[in-house]
């Protein structure tokens, strides 16, 4: 059912990065060649759920860490990268990102927002938003160790 424009825009493997252990956390994605700003790298793939289905699968309990492979496209669709996900789920969070997730035609894509050198880790700002207030305790449940000078110490988004 893909539109011709989708096929043209959709990056295909081999992707310009490799998955290996990261100094930020666990595994990460590292550029295997120079990547120019604006390049679309990979789809953030996963099972598509309604918000109700996502809530049923991962109940959002205040005071507990919620599931980090969920990505809301809009009010109707949530992508769960832990089911049918791809290498995009290995990208780590950073407060000084070189990539971002963009929504195009109801799909999620990782795109470079800076020129990236070979060997650089690909990172984007998760900017999680919780239902509850972003208190210091909540921020601590999502600590950030990205090492950036501008690190805000948490993967939670600034709320207003």
Q: How many residues bind Zn ion (CB under 5 A)?
A: 4
Residue number, 102 or 151, with CB nearest to Zn ion: 151
> Taking CB under 5 A as the rule, does residue 144 contact Zn ion?
yes
CA distances from 133 to 52, 62, 129, 136 (A): 21, 9, 9, 9
Stretch that binds Zn ion, among 13-21, 46-54, 101-109, 151-159 (CB under 5 A): 151-159
> Taking CB under 5 A as the rule, does residue 156 contact Zn ion?
no
Q: In angstroms, rounded to a whole number, what is the distance separating the alpha carbons of residues 83 and 46?
A: 6
Least separation, in Å, of the C-beta of 23 and Zn ion?
13
Residue number, 15 or 142, with CB nearest to Zn ion: 142
Residue number, 83 or 96, with CB nearest to Zn ion: 96
User: What number of other Cβ atoms are within 10 A of residue 54's Cβ?
Assistant: 22
> Taking CB under 5 A as the rule, does residue 146 contact Zn ion?
yes
Using CB under 5 A, which of 91, 95, 110, 116 touches Zn ion?
Answer: 95
Residue number, 70 or 92, with CB nearest to Zn ion: 92
- 106-110 contacts at long range (C-beta below 8 A, 24 or more positions apart): 106/73, 106/74, 106/77, 107/6, 107/43, 107/73, 108/43, 108/44, 108/71, 108/73, 108/79, 109/40, 109/41, 109/42, 109/43, 109/44, 110/40, 110/41, 110/42, 110/43, 110/44
Stretch that binds Zn ion, among 4-12, 41-49, 83-91, 93-101 (CB under 5 A): 93-101
Contact set with Zn ion (CB under 5 A): 95, 144, 146, 151
């Amino acid at each position: 059912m893909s539109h011709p424009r989708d096929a043209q825009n959709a990056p295909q493997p081999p992707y310009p990065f490799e998955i290996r252990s990261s100094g930020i956390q666990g595994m990460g994605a590292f550029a295997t060649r120079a990547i120019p700003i604006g390049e679309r790298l990979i789809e953030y793939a996963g099972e598509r759920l309604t918000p109700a289905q996502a809530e049923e699968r991962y109940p959002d309990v205040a005071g507990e860490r919620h599931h980090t492979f969920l990505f809301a496209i809009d009010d109707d669709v949530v992508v769960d990268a832990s089911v049918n996900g791809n290498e995009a789920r290995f990208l780590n969070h950073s407060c000084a990102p070189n990539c971002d997730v963009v929504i195009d035609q109801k799909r999620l894509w990782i795109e470079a927002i800076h020129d990236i050198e070979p060997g650089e880790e690909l990172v984007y700002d998760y900017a999680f938003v919780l239902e509850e207030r972003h208190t210091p305790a909540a921020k601590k449940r999502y600590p950030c160790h990205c090492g950036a000078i501008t690190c805000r110490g948490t993967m939670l988004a600034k709320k207003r």
